[in-house]
Amino acid sequence: MAKIVGGITTSHVPAIGRAIAGNLQQDPYWKPFFDGFPPVHDWLAKVKPDIAVVVYNDHGLNFFLDKMPTFAVGAAPEYQNADEGWGIPTLPPYAGNQALSWHVINELVEKEFDLTTCQEMLVDHAFSLPLKLLWPNEERCPVQTVPVCINTVQYPLPSAKRCFKLGKALGEAIASWDEDLRVVVIGTGGLSHQLDGKRAGFVNKDFDLAFMESLINDPEWATKYSIEELVELTGTQGVELLMWLATRAALPGKVRKVHANYHIPISNTAAGLMVMECAD
């Protein structure tokens, strides 16, 4: 059976792509952010995942406002990255694992999640940059991938409670897959940030730190908030924390915090990073 080795959650700001392309990891602005990653590289070298299930949100590359699925799962042999207009290099394609994708899709639909299934799917910065941060030295991402996309762009958004349930069902689907492979669940987005409107630049360190802590000790804590309350607390784009919540929910039982980093700001965003390992 497949084994979930743990979860990694990280922010996904496009400017990270420019910093990587420009080799700015030691630059004073970037150093506190990039210094968070070597312990994650060490952990990945230890747990040796074969496959990454990546929970992220598309920002208008694959889905636009005319067609916006609440939940979408990729089932393609390969996923291409493409230019989103941020001025960052396009990264090489990602290998899929169609067998695991279809298993996950079957299990989630069986559990009453109405998914969009994508046999062609472009993946944006929310998918490509976290994988580049995790495997910086490989030209191509060395693990197979299954993209799981949650709408955090166009209202109505799925509630925190719903995303937690999706994550739990996703974890159960992975764990019931009949192949002896090691799976890491990766959640990208957040933490607090707002890119537009009167509160542009808003961050909420107290809430972010409480949220990170809750994922370890009280994982359903954030499900008590409505989407509107989460926007109030974390900003219009801070609601991307839904991907962290779904990722935590995918991990069975109790988890141990292996590593965490938190740094304000990267661009407009409070950048968070966490590695969680299944306790048993």
The residue within the footprint of ligand DHB, chosen from 103, 132, 168, 193 (CB under 6 A), is: 193
Q: How far is the CB of 78 from ligand DHB (least distance, A)?
A: 23
C-alpha dist (Å) from residue 223 to 1, 125, 242: 30, 26, 9
- What span, in angstroms and rounded, lies between the C-alpha atoms of 264 and 272? 9
Looking at residues 17 to 56 of the shown chain, list those that interact with ligand DHB (rule: CB under 6 A).
none
Looking at residues 68 to 127 of the shown chain, list those that interact with ligand DHB (rule: CB under 6 A).
none
The residue within the footprint of ligand DHB, chosen from 2, 4, 8, 13 (CB under 6 A), is: 13
Q: How far is the CB of 260 from ligand DHB (least distance, A)?
A: 19
Cis amide linkage into residue 142, ω under 30° from 0? no
Neighbouring residues of 120: CB distance < 8 A, sequence distance ≥ 6 = 76
Active site residue 193: yes
Stretch that binds ligand DHB, among 62-70, 149-157, 166-174, 263-271 (CB under 6 A): 263-271
Describe the crossing of helices 241-250 and 160-175 by its angle, rounded to 10 degrees.
Answer: 40
Q: Is 268 in the site for ligand DHB (CB under 6 A)?
A: yes
- What span, in angstroms and rounded, lies between the C-alpha atoms of 150 and 55? 7
Q: Is 132 in the site for ligand DHB (CB under 6 A)?
A: no
Neighbouring residues of 202: CB distance < 8 A, sequence distance ≥ 6 = 192, 193, 194, 235, 238
Q: Is 194 in the site for ligand DHB (CB under 6 A)?
A: no
The residue within the footprint of ligand DHB, chosen from 269, 272, 274, 276 (CB under 6 A), is: 269
Residue 91 or 174: which CB sits closer to ligand DHB?
A: 91
Q: Is 59 in the site for ligand DHB (CB under 6 A)?
A: yes
Residue 18 or 41: which CB sits closer to ligand DHB?
A: 18
Of the residues 12, 59, 103, 125, which is catalytic?
125
Residue 50 or 58: which CB sits closer to ligand DHB?
A: 58
Stretch that binds ligand DHB, among 8-16, 48-56, 74-82, 217-225 (CB under 6 A): 8-16
Closest CA to 184 of 170, 197, 198, 195: 170
Q: How far is the CB of 116 from ligand DHB (least distance, A)?
A: 20
Q: Where are the extended beta strands (E) located within the chain? A: 3-10, 51-56, 71-74, 78-81, 94-95, 116-118, 122-123, 144-150, 182-188, 255-266, 269-278
Q: Is 14 in the site for ligand DHB (CB under 6 A)?
A: yes
Q: Are 239 and 231 in contact (CB under 8 A)?
A: yes
Q: Is 263 in the site for ligand DHB (CB under 6 A)?
A: no
Q: How far is the CB of 194 from ligand DHB (least distance, A)?
A: 9
Residue 159 has phi, psi (to 5 degrees) of: -70, 165
Which residues share a beta bridge with 5? none
Residue 103 or 263: which CB sits closer to ligand DHB?
A: 263
Q: What is the DSSP string of 38-77?
A: HHHHHHHHHH--SEEEEEE---SSSS-TTS--SEEEE--S
- As annotated, the active-site residues are 125, 193
Contact residues for ligand DHB, defined by CB under 6 A: 12-15, 59, 193, 195, 237, 240, 267-269
